[in-house]
Amino acid sequence: MTATAIQRLDAAFSALADPTRRAILARLMRGEATVTELAEPFAMSQPAISRHLKVLEQAGFIVRRVEGTTRPVRLAPDSLTEVDGYLGGLRDALEANYSRLDRLLEAMQTAPAKPTRRTR
């Protein structure tokens, strides 16, 4: 994995670590929204929401477009591709570990029992 890819993953996971940003992404799953619309459910100012949006934009999760005086926000296409690839690699490694454990447990169950020494 390149240093740039690691930096992008760090930015993505850092962005996802905040519950407000995850809530914003959840809202954007329903469709495009303005900053005002995104700020409505939160007890914070529009500038604070804008700072969260900047983090999400830098992480590649959202895109903004200019429409008159508003800047509607939407989810970025393929924004999770790199994160999904990373998590897929972890999932594959875990599955391989569990498969090895399953084979070991199966071998232990089918192996003849070793005689134990009795002590008096």
Q: What is the pLDDT of residues 6-61, one digit of tens each?
A: 999 999 999 999 999 999 999 999 999 999 999 999 999 989 999 999 999 999 99
Asked if the structure places residue 50 within a domain, the reply is yes
**Residue 113, pLDDT above cutoff 80:** no
Phi (first) and psi of residue 27, to 5 degrees: -65, -40
pLDDT (mean) for 80-85: 88
Predicted confidence at residue 120, as pLDDT, reads: 64
Cα first-last separation, the chain: 60
Asked if the structure places residue 89 within a domain, the reply is no
pLDDT band at 79 (very low <50, low <70, confident <90, very high): confident
56, amino acid identity: L
Asked if the structure places residue 38 within a domain, the reply is yes
Asked if the structure places residue 91 within a domain, the reply is no
Domain that holds residue 17: 3-75
Asked if the structure places residue 8 within a domain, the reply is yes
103/106 Cα distance (integer angstroms): 5
Asked if the structure places residue 99 within a domain, the reply is no
